[in-house]
Structure 1
Amino acid sequence: MKRRIVIVLYEGFQLLDMTGPADVFAAATVLTGQDGYQVEVGAAKAGAVPAAHHGIEVVAQAALNEIHGPIDTLLVVGGPTTMTQARDPELTAQVVRLSRVARRTTSVCSGAFVLAAAGLLDGRRATTHWLLTGWLGACYPDVMVEPDAIYTRDGEVWTSAGVSAGMDLALALVADDHGHEVARQVACGLVVYLHRPGGQSQFSMPMSVIRPRSEPLRDLQAFIDANPAEDLSVPALARRAGLSERHFSRVFTEQTGLSPGRYVERSRADTARRLLEVTDHALDRVARESGLGRPETLYRVSAAICAYPPATTAAGSTRRRPDPCTP
């Protein structure tokens, strides 16, 4: 039988928090047929529920108090109104009730506040949108907040970071249910990365670095990120920027917070990580295409920067790391 997914909405929810995971589950169902998913939408009242900002409404098929178990996965979305919604005793009571008959309970983005208000995150690791992690810890001190995770799993309670991270969470759930290969095919069909490990930073490398004030340096930064296998030595970059090596190094470091060499290394590691996640390339090819040269360098840089090294098989073949969601 299909796995029953119940998505909890409320007025002012974030649309992508719902549609992103729903599309992942739908794509997985196309691949797995009767072993796939049946998605239901519930809210305080059945009928149209307005999303935040868009003027778009989604029809809740049933009121939450009309939904009864068993449920495979309960998913609570986030949105700009979550803080207010989390103080609604009826909503939290219904979430607690449904969680008791669900195999696993999950949240996307600020939906973690609803789970926390319901007491479902007490003593558990959890995450939310990076803007809200401090608030989550302050409001609910019994929650062990992971401030920079894409998603977390603590037992059968899963939480994810903001908005698009809901798709990472859904892909992880699919991998947990059906294996890495099905999740990979879903990700390829949706043209998204498969799939960012839960402990990976919420920020990609370019997002986590200060954008230079100087337009030539911004262009150079973009060139580095787009051409990891090029000669990105300080002399070569200084020539491209039209500056002396000493002046270039000083200005680049001042405007990005990283030395040129450190930025290049992190950018190449970010490229290697993406290649490991979305391709079946051998490590020597990943190392070459990411500009890191050799698998030994790839392993060292990945372990130092990405917090997890690429894995090798017992036979020593260079293949991608196993699915991080698999126990």
Structure 2
Amino acid sequence: MNKSGSDTETKNIVLLVLPQVQLLDIAGPCDVFTSANRFMVNDHLYSGYKIHLVSGTSEKILYSSSGMPIMCSHTIYDINFPVDTLLVGGTDLTVLDNINTDIYRFLQNISGNVRRMGSVCTGAFVLAEAGLLKGKQVTTHWKFADILQKSYPDLTVNVNPFYIRDQQIYSSGGVTSGMDLALAMLEEDFGKPTASEVARHLVLYLRRPGIQPQFGNSLPDYDMMSPFVKEVRDLLKNKLGEAVTIEDMAEKMNMSVRNFSRVFLKESGLTPGRFLEKMRMDQAKNMLEYTDMSIDMIADQCGFGSSVSLRRLFLKHITLSPSQYRKSFKGE
């Protein structure tokens, strides 16, 4: 296979489908590229894209996480055309535990013959396991960013952007971020006017404002925490409005401050103080979404001391003020 990339030739896009893939991980980018084809044909500009759904198994029919069947034209065992761009769709991490290792060999073998390779959502775990993300800056769904970083310390996870390009490797965040990535690739290939036209047609931002953490919790889900971290969290959850020190936490766990700090950092990846701050952030988000309490009162009850401190942390971590967050996410 030879790398393709001429503006005038049809670019073969492979969307790699895994068992239990989230349908939008595949359908979103597919709609961006096929919509681009329609506009380019109408304008008599370019040949555009040819999209291929390729199964990551020996079966051409796979089922999405919603139960809908996906008919693939090829499998990883019978691709017989040059590939310009390959995107790996995401799936549940438990599925990846049982995936056929042939998929990693396939990705390793094809990586030198494609112009670019990327991932949507948890598809980054597949590229990482194949050894293709070493030394790269990548992103994934905000919920799984910490797991990706801990599992593959030789890469750098940046959870903020909806997508990242690092040389020929592209990665995108959760689910709909695959459409943000596809639009960026379209703009890269055929220019901003075509990408803008497709974005308007699909009722999307060409470049979505904001960052991923606006949409999720600062901390991982409770069931992803170790028993030790869960115990500390349970001790803290009703004390967020109080002045809590590391000494207080260590005493409650019957540990020295030094040993407690060491064990907590190892188990959670965060210092105790940072963990407490994130707990307070998540509680403040929850109260902004589901209560009508004033921002001053929320700041006090979450232990921030003042609305100024709360505002400063919101702007730092999610680029929205508390009032902007409430307006965007309360659903009024």
TM over 0.5, yes or no?
Answer: yes
User: TM-score, structure 1 length as denominator?
Assistant: 0.65
* Paired residue type of 1:250: D
1:80-104 per-position Cα deviation (integer Å, ceiling 9, x unaligned):
1465258532011112222222110
Partner of 1:189: 201
- Partner amino acid, structure 1, of 2:296: R
Q: Which residue type is aligned with residue 212 of structure 2?
A: Q
Amino acid at match of 1:106: G
1:146 to 158, 172, 188: 158
- Verify the 8 A CA contact 2:142 2:213 in the aligned structure 1: no
Alignment partner, residue 261 of structure 2: none
Match of 2:62 in 1: 49
Alpha-carbon separation, structure 1, partners of 2:289 and 2:119: 40
Q: Which residue of 2 aligns with 1:59?
A: 71
Alignment of 1:1-327 (within 5 A): 1-33=9-41, 34-43=46-55, 44-52=57-65, 54-81=66-93, 84=96, 88-196=100-208, 200-204=210-214, 210-212=285-287, 217=292, 248=294, 250-254=296-300, 259=307, 262=311, 266=321
Q: Distance in 1 between matches of 2:63 and 2:163?
A: 26
How big is the alpha-carbon RMSD for the aligned residues of Structure 1 and Structure 2? 3.0
248-257 or 104-113, larger mean C-alpha shift = 248-257
Residue 85 to residue 189, structure 1, CA distance change in 2 (3 Å)? farther
Cα drift, residue 149 of structure 1 = 2.1
- Shift of the 87–144 alpha-carbon distance from structure 1 to 2, 3 Å rule, reads farther
Which stretches in structure 2 are left out of the alignment for 5+ residues? 1-8, 218-281, 326-332
Following superposition, the deviation at residue 120 of structure 1 comes to 0.6
Q: Deviations over 1:31-76 (max 9, x none)?
A: 1134321100111224211001x22010011111211342110010
1:166, distance to aligned residue in structure 2 (A)? 0.6
Q: Which amino acid aligns with 1:130?
A: W
The Cα offsets for residues 177-209 of structure 1, whole Å up to 9 and x where unpaired, read as 111221111111111122227xx5203489886
- Taking structure 1 as reference, are residues 268 and 10 closer, same or farther at Cα in structure 2, changes over 3 Å only? same
User: What displacement does 1:157 show?
Assistant: 0.5
SS at match of 2:287: coil
- Tell me: CA distance 1:147–1:214, structure 2 relative to 1, closer, same or farther (3 Å): closer
